[in-house]
């Protein structure tokens, strides 16, 4: 058995910075035996941008991972957000199923099948719960619906993943969204479709860059400049709503916040198998925000 200590992660100063801790845990876990013990003895608080990706990794890595030495408050929180075994939302039929979450600041970490039309219903139900519990302004409902629809839809269109993941938590006057898959990565999508490889070569950061600039892998001419839905979604989040955006796929990440854009390749040891997006949004939109400036 391999014993790994989970650190206290209370902050995410630059969106995605929590992955600095996550990368090391993932590397230790991948390098360890098939039976892993995560010790939470040092953890008094765990930021949502750390905790949800850790649960998603746990659900996919194929190792036998047990969680030990949890404080009472962390243990109760883990039970509520379904950390140890993520919530299967595939057959979710209505928001009444999650009525106990309406008084909380989070939904369970949810896994859903991306096959068939049920995915749209799952997204709508989870969105309804998020809006009700967080009391987002009326002006925020349309952009939230658009963002979730676009980004969840991308999983089905591009990732070749069997399932997707979603988590949301309100922290003070902001919403933190995590949307992920365990598919072939953005770079892998370009390789599979044999598109723009003359631009990308073997550089995953370049693939991330052009995906965020709207270079599509779709074979429909009318969609050529629509990309993954990522480009307009990212612009809406940061430029329109004053939020922050982070995407990690394979061995590259893309960060866009008030400080600008950073696109970075990371070592192979820290590869994320699939794509994960973190989004930070306000509960209310800026007065000057115009949704139609960011849709095509």
- Phi–psi pair at 218, nearest 5 degrees: -75, 150
- Phi–psi pair at 200, nearest 5 degrees: -85, -40
Do residues 275 and 186 lie in contact, with contact meaning Cβ atoms separated by under 8 Å? Answer: yes
pLDDT at 219: 56
- Other beta carbons within 10 angstroms of residue 30's beta carbon come to 15
pLDDT at 59: 96
Q: What is the rounded distance in angstroms from the CA atom of residue 293 to the CA atom of residue 53?
A: 31
Do residues 187 and 207 lie in contact, with contact meaning Cβ atoms separated by under 8 Å? Answer: yes
The answer to whether residue 117 scores a pLDDT higher than 90 is no
The answer to whether residue 220 scores a pLDDT higher than 70 is no
pLDDT at 25: 96
Q: Can you read off the two tokens belonging to residue 17?
A: 């910075």
Q: What is the rounded distance in angstroms from the CA atom of residue 108 to the CA atom of residue 289?
A: 30
pLDDT tens figures, 161-192: 788 999 999 999 999 999 999 888 999 999 99
The answer to whether residue 222 scores a pLDDT higher than 70 is no
Counting residues of the chain whose pLDDT is more than 70, the rounded percentage is: 94
What is the pLDDT averaged over residues 93-107? 93
Q: Higher confidence at residue 214 or residue 258?
A: 258
- Phi–psi pair at 8, nearest 5 degrees: -80, 120
Q: How does the average pLDDT of the chain come out, rounded? A: 91
Residue 223 burial by Cβ neighbours in a 10 Å radius (0-12, 13-18, 19+)? middle
Q: Please state the pTM of the whole predicted model.
A: 0.94
What is the pLDDT averaged over residues 38-50? 95
- Phi–psi pair at 11, nearest 5 degrees: -135, 160
DSSP 8-state class, residue 7: P
pLDDT tens figures, 269-294: 999 999 999 999 999 999 999 999 99
Q: Can you read off the two tokens belonging to residue 279?
A: 């989004």
Residues 6+ apart with CB under 8 A from 197: 190, 191
What angle is formed at CA 142 by the lines to CA 141 and CA 148, rounded to 5 degrees? 90
The answer to whether residue 224 scores a pLDDT higher than 90 is no
Tokens 């970075």 belong to which residue? Answer: 264
pLDDT tens figures, 48-97: 999 999 999 999 999 999 999 999 999 999 999 999 999 999 989 888 99
Q: What is the rounded distance in angstroms from the CA atom of residue 34 to the CA atom of residue 177?
A: 30
Tokens 């307009």 belong to which residue? Answer: 232
pLDDT tens figures, 121-176: 899 999 999 999 998 999 999 999 999 988 888 776 766 778 899 999 999 999 99
Q: Can you read off the two tokens belonging to residue 205?
A: 């950061």
């Amino acid at each position: 058995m391999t014993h790994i200590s989970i650190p206290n992660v209370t902050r995410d100063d630059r969106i995605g910075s929590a992955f600095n801790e996550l990368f090391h845990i993932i590397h230790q876990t991948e390098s360890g035996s098939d039976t892993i013990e995560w010790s939470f003895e040092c953890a008094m608080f765990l930021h949502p941008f750390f905790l949800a990706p850790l649960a998603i990794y746990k659900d996919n890595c194929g190792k036998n991972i047990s969680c030990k030495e949890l404080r009472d408050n962390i243990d109760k929180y883990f039970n509520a957000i379904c950390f140890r075994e993520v919530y299967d939302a595939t057959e979710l039929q209505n928001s009444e199923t999650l009525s106990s979450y309406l008084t909380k600041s989070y939904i369970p970490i949810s896994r859903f099948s991306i096959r068939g039309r049920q995915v749209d219903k799952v997204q709508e139900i989870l969105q309804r719960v998020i809006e009700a519990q967080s009391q987002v302004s009326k002006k925020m409902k349309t952009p939230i619906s658009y963002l979730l629809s676009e980004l969840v839809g991308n999983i089905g269109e591009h990732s070749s993943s069997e399932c997707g993941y979603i988590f949301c938590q309100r922290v003070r006057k902001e919403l933190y969204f995590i949307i992920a898959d365990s598919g072939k990565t953005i770079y892998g999508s370009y390789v599979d479709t044999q598109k723009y490889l003359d631009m990308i070569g073997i550089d995953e950061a370049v693939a991330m860059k052009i995906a965020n600039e709207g270079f599509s892998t779709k074979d429909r001419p009318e969609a050529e400049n629509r990309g993954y839905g990522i480009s307009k979604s990212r612009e809406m989040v940061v430029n329109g709503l004053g939020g922050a955006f982070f995407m990690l796929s394979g061995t590259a990440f893309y960060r866009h916040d008030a400080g600008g854009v950073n696109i970075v390749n990371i070592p192979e040891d820290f590869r994320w198998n699939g794509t994960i997006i973190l989004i930070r949004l306000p509960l209310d939109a800026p007065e000057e925000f115009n949704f139609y400036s960011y849709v095509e």
